[in-house]
Structure 1
Amino acid sequence: MANEDDDGEKSRSLHQQIARKPKTQIVIGVPSYQEVLESSQTKSTPPSLFKPSQSFSQAFAFVKSSDVYSPPPPSSAAASSSQPSGASQVPHSSSQTHQTDGASSSSTPVATGSVPSNTTQNRNAILVSHRQKGNPLLKHIRNVKWVFSDIIPDYVLGQNSCALYLSLRYHLLHPDYLYFRIRELQKNFKLSVVLCHVDVEDTVKPLLEVTKTALLHDCTLLCAWSMTECARYLETIKVYENKPADLIQGQMDTDYLSRLNHSLTSIRHVNKSDVVTLGSTFGVELKRPYVQLL
């Protein structure tokens, strides 16, 4: 009991001491709008430690001092520009120098994939846009020559025919690509072919979208399931560029009996013997060789 009384007295004395202490007031000063505005204006932005280079060559100038760097070979443009400067020192009175210069310029070979200067070679070759660089389809074009050229379509197959290459997998990633590519053609070609490479399993919906886009813009849609088949389409269109359409048109005889036979046999249950019977009944004179053929 004595211990409990001592604890109670200690707690009372502790509470009395706490109550006697003066209470301190905490005042938070709120700055005015003008003070905030002035302080924000006086503060200057810290200097940035990032100092970008003014050009690409300055940013990567350290590569030239490394052991890995090797100077590039002189370009053909630099060689051609240096040739006239040396030729200007030669007097123009000698005609032999001009002949040798012309022979050397004509004997320079044309690089593979570049557009040759001769237009006849371009007519016999498929013109390929620079966008198609790296396309594995070009490796399968073997029966027809092809050269790179600055053209709007992907392939120019003739004077009035062109082709746009479209991968169905690429169409799923970029649905508007075909529309903008067709719009770039501006109907400058009579035959515009959309060569669609079917390289996905689910083909119903994407092929429907490609077909609608091709039909609305008067384009011919050709579907291929391999790179080899795509190349065969391009080669065939190029080979048959100047050939008439007689090979795919049906041949109709000009005489009356042949036309009568063709028209009547188109009716169901009417054969060639019935044509002879109907012709003789209604006064059509049938020649004997024609009757023997029937």
Structure 2
Amino acid sequence: MNNTDPTSFQSILAGVKKLREKKGGEVINENKERPPQAETTTETSKEPVNVINAFNQQRIPINTTSNTDTKDASRKRPFSGNKHGKTVLVNTTQKENPLLNHLKNTNWRYISSTGGNKIYYDYFIRERAVLFLTLTYHKLYADYITRRMHPLSQNENNILIFVVDDKNSEDTLRDITKMCMFNGFTLLVAFNFEQAANYIRYLND
């Protein structure tokens, strides 16, 4: 129950008003029109929220780096956009990869490093740099994927397609998962080359 007596509050206001009049202070008129103030709003943007998952990585627009955030931009920056639309760029080092035999209904072409333009990815798919690795190769050359990830870790939207083509993969998968986490890669695990090719097709759709 509210026991506040409104008349007592009014009497307090009246007393304050009289004190101000005696001291020659300006009496504030409660009904005086106040000058308009800038409107503020807390309404958030109503743009649709994009779900981010293995097949829908958040894409960072090109050349939108703030001048006050150049330090962070140099540490994490997106690749230049693919000028060939939905054409998948394939590093010439992948020519012997059986995956390409299964890459159907997808536009792709080879690209190679030229001059000072060093290509660090195996596949470039709609602003995503993709590396490819098999379990058997990793067991032979454990430091290979670390060297491949290092130059790409400065960018975003990286993906590693890892083909499990051998047994006893649990420990290796655990290590590969840690590498991806600490180097900014999304891990896609396939169990054959056809499935790996389907990942590339899905990413390019």
TM-score by length of 1: 0.39
- Quick check: 2:153–2:183 contact (8 Å CA) kept in 1? no
**1:204 is aligned to 2:166:** no
**1:172 is aligned to 2:139:** yes
- Equivalent-residue separation in structure 1 for 2:82 and 2:202 (angstroms): 19
Q: Over residues 245-269 of structure 1, what are the superposed CA-to-partner deviations in whole Å (9 max), with x where a residue is unaligned?
A: xxxxxxxxxxxxxxxxxxxxxxxxx
Change (3 A) 1:208 1:158: same
Match of 1:6 in 2: none
Match of 2:102 in 1: 140
From the CA coordinates, give the structure whose radius of gyration is larger: 1
- Equivalent-residue separation in structure 2 for 1:120 and 1:186 (angstroms): 19
Match of 1:126 in 2: 88
- Quick check: 2:89–2:111 contact (8 Å CA) kept in 1? yes
1:123 aligned counterpart, secondary structure? coil
Task: Give the partner amino acid of 1:145.
Answer: N
Change (3 A) 1:177 1:201: same
1:221 aligned counterpart, secondary structure? strand
Question: How much does 1:184 deviate?
Answer: 2.2
2:104 aligned counterpart, secondary structure? coil
**1:153 is aligned to 2:121:** yes
Relative contact order (alpha carbons < 8 A, sep ≥ 6): 1 or 2 greater?
Answer: 2
Task: Give the partner amino acid of 1:158.
Answer: R
Identify which of 169, 189, 192 aligns with 2:158. 192
- Equivalent-residue separation in structure 2 for 1:238 and 1:178 (angstroms): 23
- Quick check: 2:82–2:126 contact (8 Å CA) kept in 1? no
Question: How much does 1:121 deviate?
Answer: 7.7
Runs of 4+ in 1 over 6 A off after TM superposition: none
Match of 2:188 in 1: 222
2:84 aligned counterpart, secondary structure? helix
Q: CA-atom RMSD, angstroms?
A: 1.7
- Equivalent-residue separation in structure 2 for 1:195 and 1:158 (angstroms): 16
Question: How much does 1:205 deviate?
Answer: 1.3
Question: 5 Å matches for 1:268-287?
Answer: none
Structure 2 gaps, min length 5: 1-80, 113-118
- Equivalent-residue separation in structure 2 for 1:202 and 1:120 (angstroms): 38
- Equivalent-residue separation in structure 2 for 1:187 and 1:148 (angstroms): 24
2:167 aligned counterpart, secondary structure? coil
Number of paired residues?
Answer: 119
TM-score by length of 2: 0.55
1:122 aligned counterpart, secondary structure? coil
Match of 1:231 in 2: 197
* Percent of residue pairs bearing the same amino acid type: 30
2:168 aligned counterpart, secondary structure? coil
